Structures are given as C-alpha cells and as structure tokens.
Amino acid sequence: MTDGATFDFKDQVVLVTGAAAGIGFGIAQAFHQAGARLALGDLREPALKQAVDRLGRSARLFSQTVDVRDGRSVGELVTAAERALGPITVAVANAGIYPNSPVLEMTVEEWDSVMETNVRGVFLTCQAVGRRMTEQKTPGKIITISSGAHNSGRKGAAHYCASKAGVVMFTKVLAMELAPHRINVNCIAPGLITVDRDVSQVSDEYVRTLVANIPWGRPGTPDDIARAALFLASPYADFITGEVLSVDGGSGTGRTWLPYSGKSPR
C-alpha cells in the first residue's frame, strides 16, 4: 500500500480509468489516501463496485462504468464526475488490455481490439479531460500509461507493443499542445508488474526469464506505479511535460543478461 500521506491532494479531483483492479486500482488507492476526490471508471461493473468497497464508500468517491473506446461513454464519465466532485485537475488514462497472439495467427479483430482500447481509449480520455481543463482555464496534470514494450518488442505482442509506442508519441504531441494552458502531460512506462489478472496472460517461463534480467531483482507492484503517478501529478513535477518515466527496476537499461565485459569487479 502506497503511503499517500507523502503527497497532499485534498483539493484535487482525480479521474482514473481502468481503476477496478491492478495498476489502476493501485493508482486510485494512492490518490484516495492522499486526500483527493476520486472518480473511478472501468468497463467491469462488478469489479468497479468491489474497488469502491475496498476504498470505503464516501462523498469523496464517485464511480461509473465506462467504455474508453466510445467517445460518448467517456464524455458521460467526465461530465458525471465533475458534477459529483468538481472540475477534474488530474487524469490518469490507464485502461488497457494485454493479449498475446503471434502476428501470423492474429486476426484483424484482435489487432483492432488492442488499438481501440489502448490507443483510441487514451486519446478519447485525454481529449475529453483536456477540453474541460482548457474550457475552464484549469491548470492540470494528465498521465498516460504505456509500457516498457513501447521500445522493446516481445514475440506474441505486436499489437500491444505497437499500441504502447503509439501512446508514447501521442503523449509527447499532446504535451506540446497543452503546455500553453499549463497542463502537464506525461507518461509512465511500467516494466513487469505483479497483478492478479496477469497470471493467465503470461507464462511462468516468461516471468522467470524477465525477473532474472531486472537489475533490482524483483517484479514491480502497483504501488511502484502509483508512487510515480503521485509524483507526476504533484507540484514537484510542474516543469516536467512530454516525458516517459520508466518504472521497471532497471530492465530497460540494456542487455542486463550479459556478464561483465572485463574482469568482474571486486
């Protein structure tokens, strides 16, 4: 559990998509602990209700199902959240899917499904929130969630890797466009993160191999990502925009599996 007391968001309204479980719930929980008024959006209604119960139902919490692939659904979430809590000042576009399929076996439907959720969903969420912030002349923070896969391919995940690369470049361009409005737009790129729903999505061999090549020696947790989100949404990051913050225990540093090229250090 992230210690949200390190940051103070008691006067902030924070929207998180894909908030019912995993990284999204970890981020939502951290902002809730930091005092924010919190709007949770997720496609899965039962899981969303469970997330609200875990946080503890209160006047500071609002939840609504959302399909981030649908502009109308996203717009309804933003409007309802602001009606319940006030103008959104922080948004985390986290909703995404993580399938596996080799390119030669991948269907067009599988490709489109990933792109619609992981790229269109981020676009629609950021667009809706960005419009409200600019209309209301509200400085704010927008955070997208990419992956280490944005610059490191993986067999079986061409659609996923391509979608996360798209999120990175979208973030950079949006940061340029919203800077005059004093809206920061940054991206978090998680490495391997341990969440329950990933158990059936990646093999044990994949996890063991990847963990062996993480200099920090362990997979990440949702708390690791949540801490990065708190920082990027805080005043400490006011002069940071258009950046990608890798939270991966060092797995993206290079060929971590190679031995020392010379004599081993003492």
At residue 3, the pLDDT reads 54
Mean pLDDT for the chain overall: 93
Measured N-to-C along each axis, helices 71-85 and 121-135 cross at an angle, to the nearest 10 degrees, of 40
**Coil, strand or helix: which one is 46?**
helix
Which whole number is the average pLDDT over 126-136?
Answer: 98
Asked if pLDDT for residue 56 goes beyond 80, the answer is yes
CB-based contacts of 77: which residues, under 8 Å, 6+ apart?
15, 17, 39, 41, 64, 66, 128
Which whole number is the average pLDDT over 116-126?
Answer: 98
Q: What is the pLDDT of residues 6-17, one digit of tens each?
A: 799 999 999 999
User: CA-based angle 16:22:26, to the nearest 5?
Assistant: 60
> φ and ψ at 171, to 5 degrees?
-60, -45
Give the model's confidence band at 264: pLDDT under 50 very low, under 70 low, under 90 confident, else very high: low
- Measured CA to CA, the distance from residue 100 to residue 96 in angstroms comes to 13
Give the model's confidence band at 146: pLDDT under 50 very low, under 70 low, under 90 confident, else very high: very high
Asked if pLDDT for residue 50 goes beyond 70, the answer is yes
- Measured CA to CA, the distance from residue 169 to residue 176 in angstroms comes to 11
- Measured CA to CA, the distance from residue 68 to residue 45 in angstroms comes to 14
Asked if pLDDT for residue 168 goes beyond 60, the answer is yes
Q: What is the pLDDT of residues 177-223, one digit of tens each?
A: 999 999 999 999 999 998 875 444 677 888 888 898 888 989 999 99
Q: Report the phi/psi class of residue 250: left, alpha or beta, with left for phi > 0 and alpha for psi in -120 to 50.
A: left
**Which of the two residues, 262 and 60, has the higher pLDDT score?**
60
**Which of the two residues, 41 and 200, has the higher pLDDT score?**
41
Sketch out the chain's domains with CATH numbers: 7-247 (3.40.50.720)
Asked if pLDDT for residue 76 goes beyond 90, the answer is yes
At residue 151, the pLDDT reads 87
> Which are the catalytic amino acids?
160
The residue type at 224: D
At residue 13, the pLDDT reads 98
Q: SS3 sequence, 148-200?
A: HHHCCCCCCCHHHHHHHHHHHHHHHHHHHHHHHHCEEEEEEEECCECCHHHCC
Which whole number is the average pLDDT over 32-36?
Answer: 96
Quick check: pTM over 0.85? yes
Q: What is the pLDDT of residues 83-111, one digit of tens each?
A: 999 999 999 999 999 999 999 999 999 99
Lowest mean pLDDT among 19-28, 145-154, 206-215, 216-225: 206-215
HSE of 173 in the Cβ direction (CA atoms, 13 Å)? 9
Give the model's confidence band at 231: pLDDT under 50 very low, under 70 low, under 90 confident, else very high: very high
